[in-house]
Structure 1
């Protein structure tokens, strides 16, 4: 008998070893559910596997970012929506003329405004995970001072109420004429002038117009501006009028109108008696004008002064501190000055750089080519405008012993609230901010849906490349076990062969 060559015996043995290794690999696949233990053993599919795993990892990172910012934006939109509702509710309340002083010197509408102000400020303190959402880039600290500090001050730092008092003194003037000068006429000329040229306080003369027979209106002109009503020997007739238009510190205007009446019929507000001659008539007109200016200053001007004070105090940013009346004395002050952190409460403490877009203070990349901007600042115009109108409504007090004048002032104040909280003059609105944040939410949601679909596709491809079919593996194991058993049996028989057994 011929002896098989060594190479053939080695080949037989190697075949058994390879089969065993393949069996072990199939058993591993059955246990782990994976086709290969390393990328190298995946063959040409390894490139696809690596690419899909990378895509899944990137998608998971984007989805994690979207989840984080979605939580923040959900809190923001809820806060902004409530903020908007607060403004609408107080505006509706202010439409109702309810001059009834329920706590001694304030109405129920004012008390509700005070509570609304505290709620609005608390909304601007909204935070998620220690990140304050209305602080711009300064996200690690509350962006607004506590309400008591803002309104009443803190230590040596003046709050809004003190600021309001100082501004009203400056606007009213020492004599209550709104910083106008109306001297007793020496002859037939009645002069009305501003007390100081260029002062930001009090009334400013816009126009003097007359329908009085025999009179001439000139100005305003000169330094400081002055208007003059000159009477002549031709006396006015009853029913004719003079209109003095004045601008006020909050940008609004008012008109003081005086009507000529016959001798002996004067005394009613807004009238003056026609005298025996031009000098007497001029004196009567001057006295009536002073009385009307006092009333107008005590009502319309004081109301306007409150809103000017609110704008000075709340309209601040990193480059523009709150403005203070440069006094004392305040009733003769002629200029504003910058408040300092040592003497004035800076109500907003967040990132106040309004030269940059507030949304850009928080930007998140949610896709390879898409980023969303969802930042906000508490001193943005819409938020600040609402806050300052709530503050001036809540802060003013009224004298119950002077109901007629105070009722007019109250009406002037609430009418401004109604107008201002309608956001006139193309001002930024709270709804506009809400729309921008919800747009960012929508874009993020759409990106999240795309990432979910992309991940599902990647996972499916990975499954096809990496995941072993357990049924198929089980069949292969059974087939291989059968072949190995046959090989082992054959090998065992061959190992017992000898010449003696053969013979």
Structure 2
């Protein structure tokens, strides 16, 4: 309902004057508020068209406050992570230097083992670094230490029936040496004037030979004309056959022997299609035969699949067969001349080689290491050669091969993952009693890394928002390959005196172990490796600093724009206030005079 106010003649002028005074009073109040607060208005509506600019600027400034808070927190995290990586690099370098300076006998072995244990403790402590109550190297698991103590890693967890690295090294040494001769699983026999030297002939499938003991690097060589070498069996790689085609989403671990004799571990997941450039994917195949062919191809030309692990249900396994051992006949057809030699070159499963060489010596030589005695006739010489060659093979097995066992077991152990099916390889036996690696999880080994391991880039496991459309990855995992290498090198040297106290201090084995651990530690420090991880954090630190500078510049620009919209100029306000006060005073006076006007006064 609309109400029409009453109207009296002559009231218009009075109402207009009153409204004018009220408007001036409102202006005076507004200017007084501006003068006291320095602000143009107390509400966004009072800013007029400037309210859009003000609202947008305040929203951006609020976001910048959040980004800066995240950047400040991330700077601390990145600095601590970078310091941890630098500490691991420093410990690796110190240990490598110690090994290069002290490859001397028993005392040095003990000293360097102690240094290695101290280095291992320091590296593990660095990988358990925290920032604001969050562990930095556990991936997406930040509320628990990502790595176990060196005591549990080396000695295991007996209360829970979990073996540590010491047990794995002992098992690896036994499998590599072979019993009862301990000649690196090589078989040496003598019949009359002929020696027969063969890779493990008891292994009918080749699976054991693919993983343990010596292999021939090339045919034995004899100088002179009295000793001949004839191949009696040609080595052939074992073939792996899957029991079924793996399905999309299933994961498995396969270890392949490359052409150079070294082993490579691949953790694969079945994907369809396989992403371009992926290094951890296995295609989907329609049959077990097609999948087996693709599995074999992973080893490349002249390579072979050595072991297979999976926790898939139903069981996904591989059977091995088709392998054959290399074998040679070494015949003493006449009496050799002093100085004639027999040399056997052997491959180890870590990609290294060692050579056994014997030189013929005439009596009264006694057959000391590196020589064999020329007997009364070829048969006696062959027996002497057999005895000396067996001893030489045993020494090589107890030295370089045993050292290789330690480093291989250490690398296998630190390749162990909390992901089902990716635990450290454990040795079992096949139906014939030959050592092989188990293919299904046995849950009897310590898993040294307790963090998240779901795949993907380690840095992507944590990120910080540093801009409207910028997320900076700053995560990390203690089981990144470079960390695994560094820890394996340290642990291999530290565990040897625990796994084999007597053999650990022999010169040959210690020198072989020192050489291998030095190479592992060097690999860890070779890009891509620890330096690359350190570089990632250095770049992250620089990016955080740059983002903070950018935000600071943006904030200054926005605040300048707000000054022009929200802030009132004190000089202008004071001048306007004085003008309004004068006008209001004049209006009051005129109104007062008019209000007193009457006919009497008028006359």
Report how far residue 22 of structure 1 moved.
0.9
Tell me whether 1:450 sits opposite 2:450 in the alignment.
Answer: no
Question: Greater CA deviation, 166-175 or 85-94?
Answer: 166-175
Q: SS where residue 368 of structure 2 aligns?
A: coil
Q: Distance in 1 between matches of 2:430 and 2:414?
A: 21
SS of aligned partner of 1:201: coil
Question: Separation in 1 of the partners of 2:522 and 2:454?
Answer: 26
| 1:314–1:424 Cα change, 3 Å | closer
1:112–1:339 distance in 2 versus 1, CA, 3 Å: farther
SS of aligned partner of 1:366 = strand
Q: Cα offset for 1:149? A: 1.2
Give the Cα separation in 2 of the matches to 1:29 and 1:92: 73
Find the aligned partners of 1:339 and 1:438 in 2 and give their Cα distance: 41
User: Does residue 183 of structure 2 align to residue 177 of structure 1?
Assistant: yes
Are 2:579 and 1:494 equivalent residues in the alignment? no
Which runs of structure 2 are paired with 1:142-161 in the superposition (5 Å)? 142-154=145-157, 155=159, 156-161=161-166
Alpha-carbon distance, 1:278 to partner: 2.6
Aligned-partner SS, 1:335? strand
Q: Given the alignment, which residue of 335, 338, 352 partners 2:453? A: 352
In structure 2, stretches of 5+ residues that fail to align are 1-7, 236-322
Q: Pairwise mapping of residues 311-326 of structure 1 onto structure 2 (< 5 A)?
A: 311-317=411-417, 318=419, 320-326=422-428
Pairwise CA distance, 1:368: 3.4
1:11-410 equivalences under 5 Å are: 11-97=16-102, 99=104, 107-154=110-157, 155=159, 156-174=161-179, 175-183=181-189, 185-195=190-200, 196=203, 197-199=206-208, 200-207=211-218, 208-219=220-231, 221=234, 224-317=324-417, 318=419, 320-326=422-428, 333-337=434-438, 340=441, 342-354=443-455, 356-397=456-497, 406-410=506-510
CA distance in 2, matches of 1:218, 1:367: 73
Aligned length: 494
Distance 1:114 1:453 in 2: 50
| CA RMSD, 1 decimal | 2.6
Give deviations 1:100-156, integer Å, cap 9, x for gaps. 656xx9622211210110110111111212322111222232211222211111121
Instruction: Decide whether aligned partners of structure 1 residues 401 and 492 sit closer, same or farther in structure 2, where only a CA change above 3 A counts.
Output: closer
Given that 2:163 and 2:444 are in contact with CA atoms closer than 8 Å, whether structure 1 keeps it comes out as: yes
Relative to structure 1, the CA distance from residue 461 to residue 26 in structure 2 (aligned partners, 3 Å threshold; closer, same or farther) is same
Q: Match of 2:245?
A: none
1:217–1:275 Cα change, 3 Å:
same
Aligned equivalents of 2:170 and 2:430: distance in 1?
12
Kindly tell me: are residues 253 and 98 of structure 1, through their superposed partners in 2, closer, same or farther at Cα, counting changes over 3 Å?
closer
- Worse-matched range after superposition: 115-124 or 334-343: 334-343
Counterpart of 2:26 in 1: which secondary structure?
A: helix
Segment of structure 1 superposing worse, 147-156 or 423-432:
423-432
CA contact (8 A) 1:272 1:284 kept: yes
Q: Evaluate the alpha carbon distance shift between residue 110 and residue 478 of structure 1 in structure 2; reply closer, same or farther with a 3 A threshold.
A: same
Deviation at 1:400, TM superposition (A): 8.4
Unaligned runs of 5+ in 1: none
Contact 1:157 1:341 in 2 (8 A): no
User: Is the 1:382–1:429 contact (alpha carbons within 8 Å) kept by the matching residues of 2?
Assistant: yes
Distance 2:521 2:488 in 1: 10
Following TM superposition, by how much is the alpha carbon of 1:424 offset from its aligned partner in structure 2, in angstroms?
7.8
Q: Hey, which of these two has a bigger chunk of helix by percent?
A: 1
Q: 1:406: Cα distance to partner?
A: 0.6
- Cα distance, 1:425 vs. partner? 11
The 3 A distance-change label for structure 1 pair 178 and 42 is same
Partners of 1:50 and 1:25 in 2: CA distance: 21
- 2 CA distance for matches of 1:79 and 1:479? 69
Verify the 8 A CA contact 1:323 1:339 in the aligned structure 2.
no
CA contact (8 A) 1:300 1:412 kept: yes
Using a 3 Å threshold, how does the CA distance of structure 1 residues 114 and 232 change in structure 2: closer, same or farther? closer
Question: Kindly tell me: are residues 479 and 427 of structure 1, through their superposed partners in 2, closer, same or farther at Cα, counting changes over 3 Å?
Answer: closer
Q: CA distance change for structure 1 residues 234 and 124 in 2, over 3 Å: closer, same or farther?
A: same
Task: State the alpha-carbon separation in 2 of the partners of residues 60 and 463 from structure 1.
Answer: 18
Q: Is the 8 A contact 1:365 1:371 kept in 2?
A: yes
Change (3 A) 1:236 1:418: same
1:258, CA displacement in angstroms? Answer: 0.8
Q: Distance in 1 between matches of 2:407 and 2:14?
A: 106
TM-score (norm: length of structure 2)? 0.77
Q: Which moved more, 1:108-117 or 1:391-400?
A: 391-400
SS at match of 1:38: coil
Contact residue 105 and residue 506 of structure 2 kept, 8 A: no
SS of the equivalent of 2:357 reads strand
Counterpart among 386, 405, 420 of residue 520 in structure 2: 420
Local SS of the residue matching 1:138: coil
State the match for 2:302 in structure 1: none
Answer whether contact 1:241 1:259 (CA < 8 A) is retained.
yes
> What are the Cα deviations for residues 412-464 of structure 1, in whole angstroms up to 9, with x where unaligned?
11122222211189763211111122112222221221111011100110011
Q: How far apart, in 2, do the equivalents of 1:328 and 1:153 lie?
A: 26
SS of alignment partner, residue 435 of structure 1: helix
Distance 1:112 1:165 in 2: 22
Cα gap change, 1:100/1:82 in structure 2, threshold over 3 Å: closer, same or farther? same
TM-score (norm 1): 0.91
Deviations 1:36-89 (A, max 9, x none): 122222122222212222222232232223222222111111111111111101
